[in-house]
Amino acid sequence: MYLKLKKSLNEFLGLGTLTRVATQQRCVALTFDDGPSPDYTPQLLRILDQHEALATFFVVGEKVAQNPRLIQEMVSRGHCVGNHSWNHPSFPTLRGAERRRQMKQCADILPRQNKLLFRPPFGHQTLRSRLDARRMGYEVVAWTAMAGDWRDHSATELLCNLENKIRPGNIILLHDALFSSSDAGYLDRTATLQAVERLLEIHSDYEFVTVPRLLQMGRPVRVPWYRQGDRAWLDSLKTEDALAIDGIDPSSTAAK
């Protein structure tokens, strides 16, 4: 009873978070977080082009500032760019003014989009942070399924994680970069690139579309999405730049 009431209240207030679209059309939205990466994003764009697939990139403003041409490249190829904050903090740990600053600072550096999309870093969200996103006019986008590619999985393992998740209207979470991690070895995106390429080959009977296009193809499914991360785990994370200094240079392992 409580969960039904909570869901109804969220729908009434317009606070649901998009997780998929109910549709009979064979379409899926691939989404990529934490980029852009000068080492991996160009490779990913080539793979998507080869399979005539479009995607949605939830980008981090700090990375956009370092790689502005990659954002122009995404948009020119028909991909969608969404807001993923300025430097990827867990929003429940911030005060409201700082959350709004994070979203605005990232938005100010992005090209204008017809549909404003936001994905909270780590998928962490409280009612207050959801209200902040609503106040700024954002559709908050979560996901239906994730590959788990922020860990050290092989392309085969990532593909297995997604194999049964390619269904009409689903939203898939992947990463073309990692803004932060607990292990420098996880920065390498080669396995993700290989898994995406194989996924597109296997499911050539599907249309891979942007999130705004997916929203036009059926009924949006929005749910109460409230999650918070473990503070000790969050404190253990290091940024990609710090991990590269401590461990490996991601460009040295980038697939050629």
pLDDT given for residue 243 in this prediction: 87
How confident is the model over 50-73, as a mean pLDDT?
97
Name the residue among 218, 236, 213, 171 with its Cα closest to residue 29.
171
Asked, for residue 162, whether it belongs to a domain, the answer is yes
* Helix (H) or strand (E) segment spanning residue 221: strand 219-223
Q: What is the mean pLDDT of residues 155-171?
A: 96
pLDDT greater than 60 at residue 253 = no
More confident residue, 7 or 185: 185
Is 132 among the domain residues? yes
Residue 76: predicted pLDDT: 96
11 belongs to a structural domain: no
Percentage of the chain with pLDDT > 90? 84
| pLDDT in the model for residue 3 | 53
- The CATH number that applies at residue 70 is 3.20.20.370
Position 1 in a domain: no
**What is the distance between the alpha carbons of residues 161 and 149, in angstroms, rounded to a whole number?**
10
In a domain, residue 180? The reply is yes
Per-residue confidence band for 9, with pLDDT thresholds at 50, 70 and 90: low
Lowest mean pLDDT segment, chosen from 14-18, 25-29, 68-72, 167-171: 14-18
pLDDT in the model for residue 255: 45
- Specify if 9 maps to a domain: no
CA dihedral 91, 93, 95, 99 (to 10 degrees): -20
Percent with pLDDT over 70 in the chain: 91
Lowest mean per-residue pLDDT among 11-15, 112-116, 169-173, 191-195:
11-15
The total number of structural domains that make up the chain? 1
100-153 per-position pLDDT tens digit: 999 999 999 999 888 999 999 999 999 999 999 999 999 999 999 999 999 889
End-to-end CA distance of the chain: 54
- Asked whether residue 10 is domain-assigned, the answer is no
Contacts of 204 (CB under 8 A, 6+ apart): 51
| Greater pLDDT, 247 or 175 | 175
pLDDT at 176: 98
Domain that holds residue 246: 17-252
pLDDT at 249: 55
Residues forming the active site = 33, 175
According to the model, what pLDDT value does residue 248 have? Answer: 55
Residue 2 scores a pLDDT above 50: no
Identify whether 159 is part of a domain.
Answer: yes
Residues 6+ apart with CB under 8 A from 192: 40, 147, 149, 155, 158, 174, 175, 176
